[in-house]
A and B are shown apart, each in its own frame.
Chain A
Amino acid sequence: MEYTSSELLAVVASRELAGRRTVFAGIGLPTLAASLAHLTVAPELETVYESGVCGAHPSHLPQTIADAVLITGAEAVLSMPALFGYVLQGGHIDVGFLGAAQIDRWGNLNSSVIGDWHSPTARLPGPGGAMEVMANAREVFVVMRRHDRRSFVDELDFCTSPGPDRALAEGFRPFGAGVTRVVTELGILGRTAPGDELRLVAVHPGVTAARVREATGWELAVADDLTTVEPPSAGELRLLRDDVDPARVYLR
């Protein structure tokens, strides 16, 4: 069955949510993945949005993390101090989804600048709540549409959201495991605990480990038990297309 890159990423990310209870999701692919997981591998999954919405039941696919359709009919809408202080910092989030302009081998993320912070080549949106998600979610999944050496870098231009290794190096005890999964157009990178580097654990059908290593800006280690990702099933694609995003807002 034919599928697009967005459909592949959404399906693969949804499978990673199997058995999880709470997910902190942004708009776009993370919302698609969480919505699909809710229909497949994680029926009990509660999606929490940075805007303060818990247990959303939207009538339409949300266009922003603060879309009015997320509020109407939601189970709870919290203030910012409650959302960031109690829900996130209090340790209630199993998985946080993050994106970034750059990621390194330890799963540290840059979403602030390309170039020097004081006189950047490109000023990016910055941390938002990403730093809080990284510091406080049990684990973090990153979805990157493009897998290339501009994004998968040996050294970040700026570390906005640090993984646990950088926290430990400064003498702070981290709460979560940091980035444990990176889903890209080429495959899946994984790491399990502080001290681990991201390794290539799976490739999409037709993609070789050599090609992924070539597209990565550091010496990417390959898992001994490297697997090939099971392509999206007809059932997964039907749910995604007919139920999750029938207007094809994000399924480009």
Chain B
Amino acid sequence: MYAWLYYHLPGPRGLRPVVAALLVLALVALLMFVVFPAVESVLPGGKVTLSN
């Protein structure tokens, strides 16, 4: 899967590592700023208030 993705990256061969690194960074940013904040509200760890 990753090999396939890597070989289908756009751009010249020499730039592929750079493009791949940028993609990974973008993915991590998406997780940290969008996905994880949304997901963690559903998880139990952060509940500190009282409710019925």
Same assembly? no
Residues of chain A touching chain B, judged by Cβ–Cβ distance below 8 Å, are: none
Residues of chain B touching chain A, judged by Cβ–Cβ distance below 8 Å, are: none
